[in-house]
């Protein structure tokens, strides 16, 4: 029987206006950690239209966008903004097209504070199926991504509704956790999170005509002081890059040792092929690190698969490889990072009567036959000391998809060995669909 500890996490939000000073009472020496932020747009006729073209996969001439101020339907002020979209679609009418508009936020707020968002929207039924409001999120200092609200219920079409959210930092965590799941060994503190614009996401297939009305856009709350925000995310990014460099250096040292063995063996086309692949991968990854670009998990896993294959060429041939696994320390096993584990030669344990200790090791099949069963004999040590195999309580650490790593969030899909099973066939894992099936 397994017992799982449950922890109750209580999150208390405290709005901080903290001042730092170095002994002086002068106002110039104070730094406000958090400061108020407010952005509003009432879409009035006497003001300029704030909506701009952003990006599309269409020929821009094949999509006509008409803006007008509607005096007859609004929720605030005297007018709303009406946007008419008339698209011919792509040449291949079976393919989907997109046309994105945006409302730039000036100044663009960071997500280290507490912001609320609301906008009034009205669309007809067909438009509601294909238009969404979203955010263009920045992951500083490297990239960005789009996070959208759910589509409007078509039962609410042809009338004004308010899209709102009271905590944008929490709302966008779903996008952030999915983003970091694809970035090698990253976490939420590795990047800075901010907005750059409100996105109007228009999608369709073939010729389409849509209409959307906007009014009363508001973003209010508090954000971190920009200098402190930049300082903090640069610190997190530099720490992340340092760790990545260390991890890559370990792989380079492993590769260097393999090359020494490689030189002593007769060359083959397969070995040369993987040597060239590894050389190319190291060059590419180091170039990404040098230029401050993201390192995807898939790229490191590909490198590790090459290293593992190359290792099988130069090591003594055997049916299986045994590796030491940390039993009391978390080690995220993906199936590709085994080259960084130490080869298992023996276990050294000191135990007293009636004491239990845990050990873990990885069995890797070198041949294409795979591993179908594992059996243990009685254990014999020095001076013919022994103990029965019946004293062992054996489990398989099943690799499966988990919803969170190093956090309590229930978003994302992370491959990890965390589930202890007597019968590992009880859980089936589909690596292509990234899903886990019970039974």
The pLDDT value given to residue 404: 59
Q: Please give the Cα distance from 167 to 115 (Å, whole number).
A: 6
Of 71, 171, 192, the C-alpha closest to 118 is: 171
Contact 271, 310 (CB under 8 A): yes
Q: Please give the Cα distance from 430 to 438 (Å, whole number).
A: 11
Q: Does 359 or 172 have the greater pLDDT score?
A: 172
Query: Whole-prediction pTM value?
Result: 0.65
Strands (DSSP E) found in 251-394: 320-325, 360-365, 379-380, 386-387
Q: Which residues contact 343 (CB under 8 A, 6 or more apart)?
A: 321, 322, 323, 324
pLDDT score of 410 more than 70: no
Q: What is the per-residue pLDDT across 276-296, written as a single tens digit (0 to 9) for each? A: 999 999 999 999 998 888 898
Q: What is the per-residue pLDDT across 218-228, written as a single tens digit (0 to 9) for each? A: 999 999 999 99
Mean pLDDT of all residues in the chain?
81
The pLDDT value given to residue 351: 75
Q: What is the per-residue pLDDT across 15-57, written as a single tens digit (0 to 9) for each? A: 333 333 344 444 444 566 899 999 999 999 888 999 999 999 9
The pLDDT value given to residue 366: 58
Q: Please give the Cα distance from 12 to 33 (Å, whole number).
A: 18
Q: Does 71 or 182 have the greater pLDDT score?
A: 71
Q: Does 255 or 374 have the greater pLDDT score?
A: 255
The pLDDT value given to residue 181: 82
State whether residue 320 is helix, strand or coil: strand
What phi and psi, each to the nearest 5 degrees, are found at residue 118? -155, 145
């Amino acid at each position: 029987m397994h017992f799982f500890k449950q922890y109750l996490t209580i999150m208390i939000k405290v709005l901080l206006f903290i001042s730092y000073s170095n002994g002086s009472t002068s106002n110039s020496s104070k730094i406000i950690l958090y400061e108020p932020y407010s952005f509003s747009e009432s879409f009035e006729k006497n003001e300029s239209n704030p909506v701009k073209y952003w990006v599309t996969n269409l020929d821009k001439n094949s999509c006509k966008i008409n803006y007008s101020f509607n005096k007859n339907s609004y929720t605030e002020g005297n007018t709303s903004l009406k946007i008419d979209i008339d698209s011919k679609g792509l040449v291949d009418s079976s393919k989907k097209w997109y046309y994105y508009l945006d409302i730039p936020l000036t100044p663009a707020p960071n997500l280290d504070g507490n912001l609320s968002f609301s906008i009034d929207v009205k669309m007809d039924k067909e438009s509601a199926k294909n238009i969404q409001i979203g955010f263009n999120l920045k992951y500083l200092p490297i990239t960005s991504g789009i996070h959208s609200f759910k589509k409007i219920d078509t039962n609410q079409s042809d009338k004004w509704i308010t899209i709102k959210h009271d905590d944008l930092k929490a709302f966008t965590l779903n996008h952030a956790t999915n983003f970091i799941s694809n970035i090698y060994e990253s976490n939420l503190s590795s990047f800075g999170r901010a907005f750059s614009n409100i996105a109007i996401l228009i999608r369709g297939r073939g010729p389409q005509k849509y209409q959307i009305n906007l009014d009363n856009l508001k973003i209010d709350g508090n954000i971190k002081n920009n200098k402190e925000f930049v300082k903090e995310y640069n610190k997190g990014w530099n720490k992340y890059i340092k760790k990545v460099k260390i991890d890559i250096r370990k792989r380079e040292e492993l590769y260097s040792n393999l090359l020494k063995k490689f030189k002593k063996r007769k060359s083959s086309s397969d070995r040369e092929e993987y040597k060239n692949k590894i050389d190319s991968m190291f060059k590419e990854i180091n170039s990404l690190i040098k230029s401050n670009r993201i390192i995807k998990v898939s790229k490191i896993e590909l490198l590790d698969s090459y290293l593992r294959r190359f290792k099988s060429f130069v090591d003594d041939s055997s049916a299986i490889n045994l590796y030491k696994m940390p039993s009391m320390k978390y080690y995220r096993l993906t199936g590709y990072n085994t080259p960084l584990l130490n080869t298992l030669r023996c276990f050294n344990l000191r135990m007293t009567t009636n004491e239990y200790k845990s050990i873990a090791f990885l069995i890797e099949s070198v041949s294409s036959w795979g591993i179908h069963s594992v059996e243990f004999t009685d254990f014999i040590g020095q001076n013919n000391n022994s103990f029965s195999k019946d004293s062992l309580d054996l489990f398989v650490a099943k690799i499966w998809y988990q919803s969170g790593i190093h956090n309590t969030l229930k978003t994302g899909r992370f491959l990890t060995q965390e589930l202890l099973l007597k019968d590992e066939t009880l859980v089936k894992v589909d690596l292509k669909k990234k899903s886990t099936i019970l039974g």
